[in-house]
Structure 1
Amino acid sequence: MARNLKVNVCIFLIISCVDSCFIPGSIQATVPQTVPVGHVISKVDVDHCDTKTLHFTSSDPDFTVQADGTLVTVHITMVPANGRTFSVQFQDPNGQKKNMDILKDGLLKRSKRRWSPLPFNIIENDSPPFPKEVDLVASDSSAAYNVYYTLSGPGVTEHPVGVFSVVRETGMLKVNRAVDREITPQFIFQARVFDRYTNQETDLPLPITVNVEDVNDNAPTFTGQLQFTVLEQSNVGTMVGKVNATDIDKPGTDHTKIRYSLLSGTDLFYINPETGVISTKTDTLDREVKDKHFVTVEIRDMNGALKGLSNTATATIVLGDINDNPPTFTKTSYNVSVMENQEKGLILRIPIEDKDLVNTPNWNSEFIITKGNENGNFRIERDPKTNEGLIYLTKPLDYEKTKNLKLEVLARNQAELSGTNAKWVSIPVDVTVGDVDEGPEFTAPTVLFTVQENTPNDTLIGTYTAIDPETKSSAGIKYYKVSDPASWIYVDESTGQLKIANTIDRESHFVVDGVYNVTMKAVDASLKTGTGTVIIQVEDMNDHAPDIPSKDLVLCEKDGGEMGSVLVVAEDEDQAPFSAPFSFKLGEKHDDKWAVKPLNNTAVMLEQTKELPTGLYTVPLMVWDLQGFGNTQTVTVRICRCRNGACLAQQNSTSLGVWAILAMLLGLALLLLLGILCAFVCVTKNEKMELEDMGDSGGCNITYCNIFPPIGLVLVCSLWTNNNMHSPLSTSSFPLSATMSILARVMFTWSTFSLQKLAYLGTEEDGRYTDDIIHKYGFEGVGSPAGSVGCCSDQGNQEDLDFLNTLGPKFKMLAEVCTNK
């Protein structure tokens, strides 16, 4: 496929006249052999020229020079192979003319079987009229075919649609409207060539690139904050802040090269023209004079050239505070009056002034009373709302002791001073104390007297008096007790003498750590009062002998005949040296069964000296304190079998064994049966029998049924025991289980005996047993060595009841209780 020839023309720019705003040299450009209208050939550097005062003319009518030095074609121009030359003339306001000769050389180049166009260029925001020719799109195939051209892609058939078009017959590329480089810096679309007759493509498609050349149509803009802070009195050259700006024109060109300048505030601040950093130009910035400064900043592109586009903005520079102003008082001195004995509270406000920033450590005040408050009668604080000094009275003043106080108050800040030679200042505060008619005052708030316990009544222990603060006299003052918890002290109301009224006991609960307090009051003629405290230090006497508080002791029996021991502890209410260490010794009437072994200052071990059976033992012990004061005391030692340190009888006293309960139930059943039989025998067989008084019986007829006495005893005691679990029988001295065991045995014996007797009676004739059942006697039991005789006497001792006589003291106690009940 053949291609069209393309001519590249080199253009050389020769400056014939020297001018300071031009840079001599040459410009070489490549153009097509046919140069379309509006084609940019090159650009003359006139950035440093005042283009507003210069007039440009071209010697060749096909070319013109725009105001910014751009050389463009105004007609379709053919460039011959040997080049083309023309000149440009510049005329200044004074009428002087300067010429530039333009030399153009044309170079013929051919690229076989390839599209001819190189990347095309258009100027952004070009001025009308439109459309404007850009360049020819030519294919070598046009030499062999009758062709037409089409375009497609962005800027043609895609967004932005219709920016470019092509003349189908000639391949002339046209731009139809102005283009913004900042929106679309480059267009790449596709050109195709077709045979007009067959509509077949005669060459391969070719991408067409159109670059949009930048013009300086965007002024730089500010970015970021324009508010900065710098401390007052900062040194020269201290950085304040940095101004930031941007330009959306083509980067790397003068169109985006920004320079910074200050249009105001130049006496105080300086801005770096290249970086935009603002710095201080003086060290005299004073926040208290002016806390904010407003400076106008200009940003200009084209590296600051006059023809560059610019913007301005106001930057706010805030001065930060330093503590260069100490607080000052509004007055040179203060006076305040305070009454004596006045209660605590605020007595004076001291205003101050401070020029530094409010509610900061540079402004917040602190106050110190540097003189006159040695007794601590005052304190000073800061009012957080007003920053004033507040003086408070913390202890009442006494007119009779101090009529005037001169204070000195210093004011300062929380922060230290900086950037100034000033110092903290102080002012005097004169405090006048007013007189008040006061009550009497004791010679001292408290007085101490030492008294030995058990001191006899009416003994003088001391005198406690008061005086009138104004007259310094005790005349007319009366004295009374306010508090005397144990009523041990008598106070003479006229003299203030203190005497013993009742026996003082150091061991009393009214005495704490050996001290007893009495509160007194003094009353003058005007009934004003004053109070004081009498402290009585009570000295100890040896008035308490050592005592053994636990005299009932338990000694657990040991196996294998080992001797046991028990701890004996003594106490003494007296204090040293009238108490421990104690001395222990067996009493004079001891039985050599025990021995005393020392353990510590207050205790001994009471040890067996021989093997002893279980039981109760009384042991006399003599106990003396350190001074030999003591007596003989008796302790009781119970020797028993133990479990977990307690006697077994004690553990079982409140519970019944299984066999005891069964025996009790069996006995009750037998008693019920015997009761029914006895009622039948003793009553139904003697319906007609009468009981008569024999005369010598003392008016008492006694009727017996031989079966009843022992059964009655058992029944009554059994029922009484079950209904009186908290009776003496339930204590450790008589365990309930033992009681029930004895009762069960007695009931079984007498039940067996009674059943045998009833069986015997049932075999006899009526006259036989009826004579034996009920007898009437005129006199019972007195002087009869044989006792009662009945039908049962001949039974003999069929059941051995001798065990009832050997039941021991426990059963005797039961019998006594039952008899009493």
Structure 2
Amino acid sequence: MYRHAVLCVCLTVLVLFPCSESCELRPVHALVPKTIPAGYIISKGTKELNLQGCGLRPVAFTSSDPDFAVNTDGTIITLRGMRITTKHFAVHVKDESGYDWRVDVILTCKDEASQKSGNVVHRRFKRRWRPLPFAIIENDSPPFPKDVETIASDSSVNYTVYYEISGPGVTTDPVGLFTLDRDTGMIRVNRAVDREQYPQFVFKAQVFDRRTQQETDQFLPITVNVEDKNDNAPQFVGSLFFTVQERCSAGTIVGKVNATDRDLAKTHHTLIKYTLLNATDMFLIDGFTGVLSAKSNNLDREAQEKVYVGIEIKDMGGAPDGLSNKGTAVVTLTDINDNPPTFKEKLYKGQVTENQQNVLVLRIPVEDKDMINTPSWKALYEVSKGNESGNFRMETDPKTNEGLLYVIKPLDHEKTPLVKLEVTARNEAPLVGTSATWQSVPVELTVGNEDEGPEFTAPILRLKVKENLPNGTVIGTYAALDPETKSSNGIKYYKLTDPGNWITVVENTGELKVANTIDRESPLVSNDLYNISVKAVDESKKIGKGMVILQIEDMNDNMPVIPGSELIMCSRGDTLSSVLVEGVDKDQSPYSTPFIFELGAEHDGKWKLKDATSSSVVLEQAVHMPNGLYTVPLLVKDLQGLGEAQTVNVRVCSCEREVDGVGVCGARSASSSLGSWGILALVLSGLLLLLLCLLLIFFCSTKREKVALNDDTGTGGMLLKSNTEAPGEEVKDGAFMTLAGADGLDGSVNGIMADIKNVGLAGGHYSQQFGQGGGVYNNTTQEFGTEKYYLSGRHNGSLYGANTTYQKYGNVNTLDTWRSNKNYLDRKLAYLGEEEDGRYADDLLKTYGNEGMGSPAGSVGCCSNLGEHETMDFLNTLGPKFRPLADVCYTTTNTKK
């Protein structure tokens, strides 16, 4: 049944289509061993590969599997050894007309068990499904459905079967593309399919027993290949914009045009041919690679900057029935400097007034065909001829590219009324790809005349003069001429600058006369040169200026001298010391060095000279001399014998160091020789320091008065220094003065104790002299907080000494009892504990730490915190030095009682 169906189809095709197009190639089936060696012939002279029955001749074979090759006669052979069970690949056959044919090759291994010994029981194996892979044509034309192929299973011999298929194209996307006649096994396609979307379908076929609904055979994968049809035109891929330099050589690659085709690769359906539609005189394109290149070296950007090139791409290798597409490539020509700037005129003329400078006199325009604002377009100008004096400068206008001609040095109408120049223009970039050269143009400038001021015969006049010339001496004439008349008539001369006022200019003649002494050694002279400036004024008040440089020649008007106040000669013990004496002369040779050194006639013979040079001599001791300051008469003469005796002060001292041969005296040596003025300065400094100390004591004593409290009971509260370990006679009762109130000390309460004067000791008795009243009582009022306290006390003056005049010790002490003092102190402490503002730091309570470990007296700070009441037991532990003091105090107290 299957063979009859195929025969009918073939007959129908042969009737409807020509023979070459009705050829149907069946797959090639080959039975091979499981192990195939290299070079094994699969099929020899295969008729399907030779296109037998198709009326065509094959010209090339291509295997889709690299393990197999096809000879020119259609024989399939293996290229390497392998083991297989089944193998499926394809062979592409290209015919003489350029079409590709596909032939499937299916390899099945032999059943080697059937070839073994006859003793083995032969077992028949169930044959598998037939047929082999199917093929349909993409985008096939209606009507649909169309029969594809019939499937059949050998199990249909023993069973009444039906078939089912499932998978892609059947039950999955695209669903319903294929259907199956379950009774006959005919597979049909129901609509057109696009190979570019679905190149292949692999679905599953199954066979079932109608009675038991059980599978009677194993399922079979069915492969349906969608054969390509040339239904996609090629498309351009990538950019079609290209750039190439103008004047490039022929064959220069401009770029590559890329295209693609969705049809089956490596077939005529995707074989694209490129063709230029225009600009064929400028460019070439490779028909199968798409490489675009320059055809000649005459591409000119100035003629056409962008070239629009039409390109056609066509598949089937450009065959008439191929599908095509068109596009436009844009080729931009980049600029090179193949055009020099050209002048618009053959001659440029301008005008300038004489004596003008730094002025623009002419604009010179140019044309350049190259790209604007590039180095190939920007022009550079220079005055190539006529600017030997440097009077002109050329610049470029950056906006217009014009040449700007400037006069930078004044021109003279009388010398050159017409100036001829030549201006050359070039680009920033060098010329390329052309035989043209840089161009030049002549320029003529007319120099206008104006009334000018007088001009000196020489801008700078140099004169040689000797120093110390007499006033009124004529040293030269500096004259000027009128440029128009070439005459000096009516011109007057005036001096502009003369730092030393050494020269006078004669107004009518321009003579230069000496006005003051010319001194070469003056600081106004530099390198023997002295400058003055002169102006000339004509009748029209025009001014011309000039300069006179005086080169002053030296005269012997300076004697050599020995600089410095004194020389230091370092004392070296018993060795005779020496010092270097140098002379200086402001004059030049031959009026200066070499000097002649001699000792003065009045020298004392203790010095001598040695090792003289052109400008120095060594002064050495003739005998050893102690440290001190010495004067040495020394005569110094220049080369002409001009000189005088000079006195040199030489200090001989013990040097603490020497710097570059010059000694530095030590501190002891320097202080021992101060002299009378130095001693007087030291005495005055000491007196000033003493006065400063007295002033400080005065200011400190005039601060807020503090109440002085006494701890004793009326003895005067003063401790006497004793050099004995026990109380002597000087510290007994008689040593203290008991002041009687009625005899001399009691007086008016308003009495003020004056200064104690002329206090002395005579015959073991004390004498006192008091001034400003006989009373010594002083009333003192001190404010603490808001309360006032009145303190009345006895003033006591205590004198100590023996047989000499002693300085006074003044003190204000109260003679009140301990109880009165306690009350006063309690009040003061209460006040100090309440407020801190406005008081001295000494009046504030402060906290101090214990000043020692185990001290029975605790802290001895003047303002320590008041703690527990301390007993007087610590007095028993005091050392022996305190006992004389205790005895004195005790004796004094008993005496007063």
Shorter-chain-normalised TM-score: which range?
Answer: 0.5 to 0.7
- SS of 1:444's equivalent in the other structure is coil
Q: Distance in 2 between matches of 1:129 and 1:43?
A: 30
Superposed CA deviations along residues 104-145 of structure 1, whole A, max 9, x for unmatched, are: xxxxx9984433342222222233444444333444444444
Cα distance per residue 1:18-53 (max 9 Å; x no partner): xxx987997641499xxxxxxxxx9998999xxxxx
1:334 to 348, 352, 359: 348
Name the CA distance, whole Å, in 2 between partners of 1:338 and 1:425.
25
Change (3 A) 1:134 1:440: same
Deviation per CA, 1:252-292, whole angstroms, max 9, x where unpaired? 10000011112223344333322223344455544433333
Aligned partner of 2:604 among 591, 595, 602: 591
Asked if 1:649 is matched to 2:668, the reply is yes
The 10-residue stretch of structure 1 (644-653 or 364-373) with the greater mean CA deviation from structure 2: 644-653
Partner of 1:509: 523
State the match for 2:504 in structure 1: 490
Partner of 2:453: 439
Quote how far apart the aligned CAs of 1:455 are.
Answer: 1.3
**Contact persistence 1:641–1:648 (CA under 8 A):** no
**Residue 540 of structure 2 is aligned to residue 526 of structure 1:** yes
Q: Which runs of structure 2 are paired with 1:121-520 in the superposition (5 Å)?
A: 121-195=135-209, 200-234=214-248, 236-282=250-296, 284-418=298-432, 420-520=434-534
CA distance change for structure 1 residues 45 and 557 in 2, over 3 Å: closer, same or farther?
A: farther
C-alpha separation between the residues in 2 aligned to 1:590 and 1:275?
Answer: 119
Contact 1:467 1:473 in 2 (8 A): yes
Tell me which amino acid in the other structure corresponds to 1:29.
R
Rounded to whole Å, the distance in 1 between the matches of 2:221 and 2:617 is: 124
Q: Could you say if the C-alpha distance between residues 128 and 581 of structure 1 is closer, same or farther in structure 2, counting changes exceeding 3 Å?
A: farther
Residues 10 and 368 of structure 1, relative CA distance in 2, 3 Å threshold = farther
Question: Would you say the 8 A contact 1:12–1:28 is kept in 2?
Answer: no
d(CA) in 2 for partners of 1:360 and 1:22? 69
Q: Distance in 1 between matches of 2:330 and 2:591?
A: 91
Give the 3 Å change call, closer, same or farther, for CA 527–684 of structure 1 in structure 2. Answer: farther
SS in 2 for 1:386: coil
Structure 2 residue 760 is matched with structure 1 residue 680: yes
Change (3 A) 1:198 1:345: farther
Counterpart amino acid of 2:239? Answer: Q
Aligned-pair distance for 1:503? 0.7
Q: Higher relative CO (CA 8 A, sep ≥ 6), structure 1 or 2?
A: 1
| d(CA) in 1 for partners of 2:242, 2:194 | 36
Structure 2: where are the runs of 5+ without partners?
A: 30-50, 58-109, 111-123, 658-663, 673-677, 679-685, 698-719, 721-754, 771-799, 807-897
Letter aligned with residue 441 of structure 1: E
State the AA in 2 paired with 1:572. D
Q: Is the 8 A contact 1:12 1:27 kept in 2?
A: no
2:630 alignment partner, SS class: strand
Over 3 Å counting, the alpha-carbon distance change for 1:676 and 1:249 in structure 2 is farther
Residue type of the partner of 2:582?
V
In the TM superposition, what is the alpha-carbon distance from 1:442 to its structure 2 partner?
0.9
**Secondary structure of residue in 2 paired with 1:758:** coil
Inter-CA distance 25–198: structure 2 relative to 1 (3 Å threshold): closer
Contact 1:156 1:162 in 2 (8 A): yes
Q: CA deviation at 1:250?
A: 0.8
Contact 1:397 1:433 in 2 (8 A): yes
Q: How does 1:4-23 map to 2 (within 5 A)?
A: none
Question: Cα gap change, 1:757/1:445 in structure 2, threshold over 3 Å: closer, same or farther?
Answer: same
Between the aligned residues of both structures, percent identity stands at 55
Give the 3 Å change call, closer, same or farther, for CA 446–144 of structure 1 in structure 2: same
List aligned pairs for 1:538-617, cutoff 5 A.
538-558=552-572, 561-598=574-611, 601-617=614-630
Partner of 1:99: none
Shift of 1:232: 4.5
1:10 touches 1:30 (CA, 8 Å); kept in 2?
Answer: no
Q: Are the aligned partners of 2:352 and 2:447 in contact in 1 as well (CA < 8 Å)?
A: yes
Distance 1:680 1:146, change over 3 A: farther
In the other structure, the counterpart of 2:106 is none
Q: In 2, Cα distance between the equivalents of 1:443 and 1:606?
A: 58
| Alpha-carbon distance change, 499 to 187 in structure 1, aligned in 2, over 3 angstroms | same
1:649 aligned counterpart, secondary structure? helix
Question: Partners in 2 of 1:142 and 1:586 — Cα distance?
Answer: 158
CA distance in 1, matches of 2:53, 2:314: 22
Segment of structure 1 superposing worse, 495-504 or 425-434: 425-434
Aligned to 1:764: none
Contact in 2 for aligned 1:546/1:571 (Cα 8 Å): yes
Q: In the superposition, relative to structure 1, how do residues 586 and 301 fare at CA in structure 2: closer, same or farther (>3 Å)?
A: same
The offset of 1:529, in angstroms, is 1.0
Deviations 1:282-318 (A, max 9, x none): 5554443333332321110001111100001122233
1:640 paired with 2:686, answer: no
User: Which has the higher mean CA deviation after the structures are superposed, 337-346 or 613-622?
Assistant: 613-622
- Residue 265 and residue 589 in structure 1: after superposition, are their counterparts in 2 closer, same or farther (change >3 A)? same
Distance in 2 (alpha carbons) for counterparts of 1:566 and 1:589: 20
Write the distance in 2 (CA, Å) between the matches of 1:13 and 1:126: 18
Q: TM-score, normalised by structure 2?
A: 0.60
Residue 625 in structure 1 maps to residue 631 in structure 2: no
CA distance in 1, matches of 2:241, 2:804: 131
Q: Deviations over 1:768-791 (max 9, x none)?
A: xxxxxxxxxxxxxxxxxxxxxxxx
Contact 1:12 1:26 in 2 (8 A): no
| 1:228 match: secondary structure | strand
Equivalent position amino acid for 1:582 in 2: F
Structure 2 counterpart of 1:388, one-letter code: E
The alpha-carbon deviation at position 152 of structure 1 amounts to 4.7
Deviations 1:373-431, CA, capped at 9 Å, x for gaps: 22221122222221212111111111111111122223333445455554444332221
Unaligned runs of 5+ in 1: 33-41, 49-108, 655-660, 689-753, 761-821
Cα 1:148–1:652 change in 2 (3 A) is farther
Q: Which amino acid aligns with 1:635?
A: V
Q: TM-score scaled by structure 1?
A: 0.65
CA contact (8 A) 2:759 2:769 kept: no
1:715-746 deviation digits (Å, cap 9, x = unpaired): xxxxxxxxxxxxxxxxxxxxxxxxxxxxxxxx
Evaluate the alpha carbon distance shift between residue 497 and residue 165 of structure 1 in structure 2; reply closer, same or farther with a 3 A threshold. Answer: same
Native 8 Å contact 1:9 1:31 kept in 2 = no
**Secondary structure of the corresponding residue to residue 303 of structure 1:** helix
Name the counterpart of 1:817: none
> d(CA) in 2 for partners of 1:161 and 1:676?
143
Q: Which residue of 2 aligns with 1:758?
A: 804
Q: Tell me if structure 2 keeps the 8 A contact 1:617–1:636.
A: yes
- SS at structure 2 position matched to 1:406: strand
RMSD value over aligned CA atoms?
Answer: 4.4
Note the C-alpha offset of 1:9. Answer: 7.9
Assess if the C-alpha contact under 8 Å between 1:10 and 1:31 holds in 2: no
Range moving further from structure 2, 419-428 or 205-214: 419-428
Q: Secondary structure at 2:804's aligned position in 1? A: helix
Deviation sequence 1:173-219 (CA, Å, 0-9, x none): 44444332223322334444455565554444443332221111111
Q: Which amino acid aligns with 1:519?
A: S
The offset of 1:162, in angstroms, is 4.7
Alignment of 1:656-675 (within 5 A): none
Matched to 2:221, the amino acid is P
Alignment partner of 2:464: what SS?
Answer: strand
The code of the aligned residue for 2:418 comes to N
TM-fit CA distance, 1:545: 1.9
CA distance in 2 between counterparts of 1:179 and 1:43 reads: 30
